[in-house]
Amino acid sequence: MYLCVCKAVSERTARRAIREQGVVSLRELTRTHGIGTCCGKCVPAARALLEEELAAS
């Protein structure tokens, strides 16, 4: 399932970036994958996913 439709970034890809590539902020997800750089509708979901992953780590 896409987390960011505009940039075609899947939830799995975003989780992998957080778990394996050391991404710890929405800004980094934006910089590395373009999340939230088009319509911005994915930002709340991206923020929630990031918080969930960081809480689990």
Smallest gap, in angstroms, from Cβ of residue 47 to ligand FES? 12
Query: Which of residues 18 and 57 has its CB atom nearest to ligand FES in the complex?
Result: 18
Query: Which of residues 35 and 57 has its CB atom nearest to ligand FES in the complex?
Result: 35
> Which chain residues interact with ligand FES by CB under 6 A?
4-7, 35-42
Q: Please give the full DSSP string across 1-57, using - where no structure is assigned.
A: -EEETTTTEEHHHHHHHHHHS---SHHHHHHHH-TTSSS-TTHHHHHHHHHHHHHH-
3-state DSSP assignment of residue 2: strand
Query: Which of residues 5 and 48 has its CB atom nearest to ligand FES in the complex?
Result: 5
